[in-house]
Every structure is written in C-alpha cells, then in structure tokens.
Amino acid sequence: MNKKPVMLMILDGFGISDNVDGNAVRESNKPNYDGLKAKYPHTALSASGLDVGLPEGQMGNSEVGHLNIGAGRIIYQELTRITKSIKDGDFFENKAFNTAIDDALKNNSAVHLIGLLSDGGVHSHINHVKALITLCKRRAVKKVFVHCFLDGRDVSPTSSKIFIEELQNHMDSEGIGEIATISGRYYAMDRDNRWERVQLAYNAMVKGEGNTSTSPFAVIDDAYHDNKTDEFVIPSVIVKDGKPVATIKNKDSIIFFNFRPDRAREITRALKDKDFKGFERESLDVTYVCMTQYDKTIEDVQIAYKPESYE
C-alpha cells in the first residue's frame, strides 16, 4: 500500500459548520483552504464534549485540544473528573477538602471558597463550589464565605447575576454560606504578572479594602452603569452593618475551586508564597487547598485532585 503524508491542520478560532446564517467562515473568501479541500480527501475532528474528555455538550478550549492532540487519545479533563466524583460521592470524602475543614473546625475559624463563578467549564464550574457548600454543611462548618470572581469571557459578558442568584439560592437551601467579595477575573485571575491588578483582589479578600456594597447585585449594577462588564468589575467588599462580611485571617482555610492552573497561580502565590515579591503584604498562616496542581513550585498547599499519569 502506498502511504501518503497526512496533515493535521489546527485553525484557531475557526468553526466548521454547514449552517449559512451568521456563518462568517463559510461565507468568506478562503482560496487556500477551499482549494485544499477541493483537491485532497479530508475530514473534520470533533473538538468538544465527550470526544475530548469533557461532559456531553461542553465546548472545547485550547488547553483541552492541546492535551488530546499531544496524547493521541482521549484525555478526560479535570472538569469531567471532578464532576464525576461529585456524582459518585468521592468528592465529599476528598482528603484535601476535609483537612481544610478539620483545621477550620479545630481553630474555630472560617472556610473561604474562592474562584470563578460561572458554568463556562474552562477554569471552573459553579456546580463544584455548590458541592463544596454542601460538604461544609455536612461537616457542620459555621463560617463559610465565598469570594466570587466574575467571568464574562467564557460565558456572556453580563451573565454574572444568574450565577450569583444560583449560588445564593443554594446557600439559602443549605442554610450556610455568605458572599464576602466580588472581583472581575481581570483582577483576580491575571496571569501576566500585572500585580497591581492582583493586589486589588487580594486587598478586598484579606484587608477588606476597596469598593463596598451591601449586595453583590448592587456591585454588578454599579459596574454596568459604568459600562464595565463582568470581567472588569473592580474588586469590591460586601459589608454588613458597615463592616466587611468576612476577610481572610490567620488560621482560616481557603479552598480555590478553579481547576485550570494558568490563571490560578498568581493569586495563590500572593496568598501563600513566603518570599512573595509581587507587592507588599503580610504573610498569612492559612490552610490552602488547590483544586488541581497549579504549579509544582508552589509550596505548603494541598491538592484536591492530583495529576494523573498518561504514560
């Protein structure tokens, strides 16, 4: 059999669909692409859902694509892995989560849940923080606070109220938990060493400094009034009777529920690195849980879902 070369073409941001309405790719002039298709046999690869190890119907993303291409087989993503563990019940027995809760109970301190609040499934998923709320309820934790990073990139730019309401309804149902701060991901999830952004999110969570409001919905309304979408909401502190609902203190426990590492590293280093140089701050003595391994060099943290081997 005469073997011929095979080319894998990766076209970033390029969708393949037979739909005509609104299909700019199909309707545009693409002489090279169309010429190759006309001349050579071709097919398309599925880059979303179960075919790349994501839940059915979940959109793909660059990291997912790179992992599957590099492995040459389906790699089940952290979103799928964590979601499955919630359904199976293993999530609620996770050693790292329960160690953080044990320490909070022993110290009569708080559990702080921090992360991106949306169902985008790229960096996090709202169902994971809801499961953590349920776990805290089962373990009879009294002080549970959520520091919400607003999305607006992997979901609609003005969808945050939907997720805030969903979270609040779940906390009301469980009878536990309060929202302590609101920050756009532009600040809390920087990945390019723009420490002046990260510092604003840090100051809101740890020092109770920044814009203040009695309601997360009011924070969002004010941002929209200033033509800022969810991603760019300035870190804000929720107050009750003139005081922050909660700040992160020594002996508290923190669980960061983002599973994608790249935009979780900087705020984690700000909260945990002993020799942190990004901006001036006092070191914290906290129990810290990363949902996955954000970086091998980050010390003194627990990892809820450790890397799996694909050898």
Query: 302 with 290: CB under 8 angstroms?
Result: yes
**Active-site choice (62, 173, 215, 283):** 62
Token representation of residue 308 = 């799996």
Q: How many CA atoms lie within 13 A of 269 on its CB side?
A: 24
Q: Residue 250, SS3?
A: coil
Radius of gyration from C-alpha coordinates of the chain: 22
How far is it, in rounded angstroms, from Cα 250 to Cα 104? 11
Contact 118, 151 (CB under 8 A): yes
What is the CB neighbour count within 10 angstroms for residue 236?
Answer: 22
Q: How far is CA 54 from CA 80, 92, 105, 230, 289, in A?
A: 5, 21, 35, 25, 24
Closest by Cα among 242, 255, 247 to 304:
255
Active site includes 62?
A: yes
Rounded to the nearest angstrom, the gap between the alpha carbon of residue 211 and the centroid of all alpha carbons in its chain is 23
Contact 178, 112 (CB under 8 A): no
Q: Return the exposure string of 42-80: e unless at least 16 CB atoms fall within 10 Å of the residue's CB, then b.
A: eeeeebbeeebbbeeebebbeebbebbeeeeeebebbbb
Under DSSP, is residue 125 helix (H, G, I), strand (E, B) or coil? coil
3-class state of residue 181 by DSSP: strand
Nearest to 110 by CA among 245, 13, 290: 245
Residues tagged active-site: 62
